[in-house]
């Protein structure tokens, strides 16, 4: 990973309160983003998304909506990207849009939960 990409990740984490882990493996690329969840709680809860692709995947990206439950995933075509650093940049743009979409849904009351709503019955 290039130094400028590492700096971009650090800046992104600070500005958006998102934890980002990027792995440039031999046969695949993986970026995991843990974004804050809007819940009335004393604790900071996060929701995560994992983005996976590879050098030979022709722009196909596997998106795992919840890394703890691998059954929930989609595959999207993001076009071409030549390097891991290009892929990381595209993931950060997708995460920014996901944050906006999530905040809009919270304003509409779809996702906001109180601690009493979260208790197991």
Residue pLDDT, tens place only, 33-54: 998 766 554 445 667 899 999 8
Residue 8's pLDDT is what? 93
Helix (H, G, I), strand (E, B) or coil at 110: coil
How many other C-beta atoms lie within 10 A of the C-beta of residue 117? Answer: 9
> Is pLDDT larger for residue 4 or for residue 40?
4
The percent of residues above 70 in pLDDT, for the chain, comes to 80
Report pLDDT digits (tens) over 51-64: 999 888 889 999 99
Q: Are 22 and 28 in contact (CB under 8 A)?
A: no
Residue 120's pLDDT is what? 37
pTM (2 d.p.): 0.78
3-state DSSP of 37-88:
CCECCCCCCEEEEEEEECCCCCCEEEEECCCCCCCCEEEEECCCCCCHHHHH
Residue 13 per-residue DSSP state: H
Q: How far apart are CA 19 and CA 14, in angstroms?
A: 9
Residue 18 burial (CB < 10 Å; 0-12/13-18/19+)?
A: buried
The residues spanned by each domain of the chain are 3-66+76-109
Question: What is the chain's mean pLDDT, rounded?
Answer: 81
Residue 86's pLDDT is what? 93
Report pLDDT digits (tens) over 87-103: 999 999 999 998 888 77
């Amino acid at each position: 990973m290039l130094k400028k990409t590492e700096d971009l990740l650090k800046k992104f984490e600070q500005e958006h309160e998102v934890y980002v882990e990027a792995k440039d493996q031999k046969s695949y690329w993986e970026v995991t983003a843990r974004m804050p969840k809007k819940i009335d709680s004393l604790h900071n809860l996060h929701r995560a998304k994992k983005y996976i692709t590879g050098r030979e995947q022709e722009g196909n990206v596997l998106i795992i909506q919840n890394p703890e439950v691998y059954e929930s995933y989609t595959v999207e075509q993001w076009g071409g990207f030549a390097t891991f650093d290009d892929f990381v940049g595209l993931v950060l743009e997708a995460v920014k849009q996901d944050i906006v979409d999530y905040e809009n849904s919270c304003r509409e009351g779809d996702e906001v939960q109180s601690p009493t709503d979260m208790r197991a019955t």
